[in-house]
A and B are shown apart, each in its own frame.
Chain A
Amino acid sequence: EPEVTQTPSHQVTQMGQEVILRCVPISNHLYFYWYRQILGQKVEFLVSFYNNEISEKSEIFDDQFSVERPDGSNFTLKIRSTKLEDSAMYFCASKGQGGSEAFFGQGTRLTVV
């Protein structure tokens, strides 16, 4: 069964460092998303990406964040200068054209120290 894969599963970084979280969406999907979940809290929308551009972003997705689809398979989330409060699980999701259900990856746990 096709699935969304994310790497790494856990990333520890020092405050102020840049991190790149990687995702491989399901191959024929066209809509891509990043969500964030701080420990014990709800899943929060960060950004959606369609047709090679950001279609919507939340207040959380400030200038420190960027997304890229560098090739036909990867979808990345970059945090330029990490802060302690960026520590969270980051989930990538994808959805097909005309499909309803978004499929989520297993997440990357980001720990900023």
Chain B
Amino acid sequence: GESVGLHLPTLSVQEGDNSIINCAYSNSASDYFIWYKQESGKGPQFIIDIRSNMDKRQGQRVTVLLNKTVKHLSLQIAATQPGDSAVYFCAERTPSNRDDKIIFGKGTRLHILP
């Protein structure tokens, strides 16, 4: 079954406002989480990651929050810009000596309103 998913398929945000994209995961053994951005016709692009021993990590204009108690992951984008329009996927990795594969969630399409 699916172990990573998202709450909303589409999110519309006014340009300049902050965006929050949420994700729920079900595999408590996962030790690493990643947010990917996918623009139309392109491959997933790494945005930010977080390990399970952390609850917050900040990048440039992006912050990822991890709540292991409720198995919840969020991506916050500050001062959303038109270039942020894309589909955002959360992904998880479960420790393995074999392949370290990443499993993707369903994706949230972020629309930026002018």
A residues engaging B (CB < 8 A)? 4, 31, 33, 35, 41-45, 48-50, 55-56, 91, 93, 95, 100-107
- Contact: A106 with B100, CB < 8 Å? no
**Chain B contact residues (Cβ within 8 angstroms of A): what range?**
20 to 34
- Contact: B100 with A31, CB < 8 Å? yes
Residues of B within 8 A of A95 (CB): 100
How many angstroms between the C-alpha atoms of A43 and B38 in the bound complex? 10
Instruction: Give the total number of A-B pairs whose CB atoms are below 8 A apart.
Output: 60
Given contacts A42-B107, A107-B41, 13 further A-B contacts (CB under 8 A): A33-B102, A41-B106, A43-B44, A45-B103, A48-B100, A48-B101, A91-B44, A93-B102, A100-B93, A101-B46, A101-B49, A103-B46, A105-B43
Please pick, from A33, A100, A101, A107, the residue contacting B101 in the complex, using a CB distance under 8 A.
A33
Pick 13 A–B contacts, CB within 8 A, sort by A: A31-B99, A33-B99, A33-B101, A33-B102, A41-B106, A42-B106, A43-B44, A45-B102, A56-B96, A95-B100, A101-B46, A105-B43, A107-B41
Residues of A within 8 A of B107 (CB): 42-43
**Nearest Cβ on chain A to B74's Cβ, whole angstroms:** 18
**Nearest Cβ on chain A to B59's Cβ, whole angstroms:** 13
- Contact: B98 with A55, CB < 8 Å? yes
Residues of A within 8 A of B101 (CB): 33, 45, 48, 56
Residues of B within 8 A of A106 (CB): 42-43
**Nearest Cβ on chain B to A76's Cβ, whole angstroms:** 17
